[in-house]
Amino acid sequence: MDAARRKIVQTAAAAAIGVALALACLPLGVYPRLACAVLDAGCPAGAPRGELPRVTRLTAVQVAQSGTYVALGDSYSSGEGVWELDQPPVNDGADRCHRSEGSYVPLVAKTYRFGGGTAFYACSGATTRQLLSGQHGQPPQITRVTSAASLVTLSIGGNDAGFSKVLTGCIVKLPWSSACVEQDAAVARRIEELRTDLLKVLREVRVRAPSARVVVLGYPRPFPKEPVATVDNLSEADQRWLNTVARRLNDTVGSVVKDFDRAIAAFGAPGSAEYVDAYEAFDGHEVGRPQPYLNGLAVDMDELQVNARSYHPTGAGYRRFAELITHQIAAGPGRPMNNVLLTDPNAPRPGAAPPR
């Protein structure tokens, strides 16, 4: 092959490899080495061309553990159901966000060793918009996500749907009233509007941590599939309807997350968006069961107020969530990850004499 044709082939090969590496979001330092190895251009004076960098595809677990674990979200992630006034704060703002060591986040952090540690910033009451804009004078949760993040978990959407207010409206109604289920149209509208706001959250996380795995946790069914008695002034019909709301919310969140991950996979890009459906996670342990994983209605008699832990996971509930998350970390998104590790075969081994 003459020199001109060889140069054309080298150029085409470098371009193809460069496009592939760009799609994989690999470090910029790779390109000079490629130019040297493929085009024989840009090589340091006196340096041998050597071999191309070796590319190793990472497993889902390796991706998750490679950097920082960042935990975001609402009360179902912060630990509202087990938070106590006298407990030491997890970090800045924990007292306002009801961020508890009893949440699933510290349990996940104990199960896996994350190279960059854990950043726990979920906040009770958070909506998708507050996750992006901030609460209680604290920096927005989203600012805790950086390029160092390798795993991001969150639960979000329940407050956008107004679930707490809906539940309160159901509990305080007259026993024979249908006011609970009459909220259906308004709830359905808010859940549908959640699609756009959740997509904004996923996009923002992706911009900040383009190689991270993002795991979104759904919500559990609050009442037995077939209620048999009135609970907290909620009739059997009320409980079935609230179960339906939880299912509708989960289906909406899940569809947005799955569509987002399909787009990531279609471009062969690193990272993922993964949904964990927790709807059946508390089966046999719903409110009204002998050993519930959700707190029932809790009232502070001294202040005559409903305690915020009402209808939030118990310690057993958060441990169940931890099982779901740790299982998802191990299982991955159900497709190959496109995160890779580059190894320079030309780099001197530790202790080896420098090349002459």
End-to-end CA distance of the chain: 32
The burial of 19, by beta-carbon neighbours within 10 Å (0-12 exposed, 13-18 middle, 19 or more buried), is given as: exposed
Q: Report CA dihedral (56, 108, 208, 76) to the nearest 10 degrees.
A: 150
Give me 138's structure tokens: 């604290």
- DSSP-derived 3-state class of residue 321: helix
User: Among 263, 154, 170, 272, which Cα is nearest to 213's?
Assistant: 272
Are 97 and 138 within 8 A, CB to CB? yes
All residues at 6 or more sequence positions from 294 whose CB lies less than 8 Å from its CB, including other chains? 81, 220, 222, 282, 285, 286, 287, 311, 312, 313, 314, 317
Residues serving a catalytic function are 75, 312
Are 279 and 250 within 8 A, CB to CB? yes
Are 72 and 121 within 8 A, CB to CB? yes
Q: What φ, ψ does residue 181 adopt, rounded to 5°? A: -70, -15
Q: How large is the angle between the packed helices 236-266 and 184-208, nearest 10 degrees?
A: 30
Can you tell me the distance from the alpha carbon of 206 to that of 210, in angstroms, rounded to the nearest whole number? Answer: 5
Can you tell me the distance from the alpha carbon of 189 to that of 194, in angstroms, rounded to the nearest whole number? Answer: 9
CA distances, 282 to each of 167, 188, 247, 316 (Å): 18, 24, 13, 10
Query: Which residue's structure tokens are 């994983």?
Result: 293
Give me 7's structure tokens: 């140069």
